[in-house]
Amino acid sequence: MHDGRASTLSETLNAFVEDQHRQYMRDMAAAQLGEQHRATRVAQLNGVINATMQGAMIGTVVDQGRKTRAALNAPVTVRLKK
């Protein structure tokens, strides 16, 4: 009644309920935005972890390839029984 939006008790109650609803909707929007930011950070972190693991796996494959080539190129001594 004091802010000029309502002239009766009924209008005052309706304005109050409307204000409460608007605040609830603002709070929900803020919560959804916060969750979206959290999900984005999780996805980014997962991308970094995935890239790191993939890099480690590639390094392991390259290392195993080197060891295999070295083993194949190593001289072999064959002894024959008489």
pLDDT one-digit tens code per residue, 58-67: 888 888 998 9
Task: Determine the pLDDT at residue 20.
Answer: 97
Residue 24 has pLDDT above 90, yes or no: yes
Per-residue pLDDT, 81: 85
CA dist 23 and 9 (Å) reads: 21
* Phi/psi-derived region of residue 28, left when phi > 0, alpha when psi is between -120 and 50, beta in every other case: alpha
**Eight-state DSSP code of residue 77:** -
pLDDT for 56: 87
**pTM beyond cutoff 0.75:** no
Closest CA to 15 of 5, 27, 7, 25: 5
For a pLDDT cut of 90, what percent of the chain falls above it?
49
Is the pLDDT at 36 greater than 70? The verdict is yes
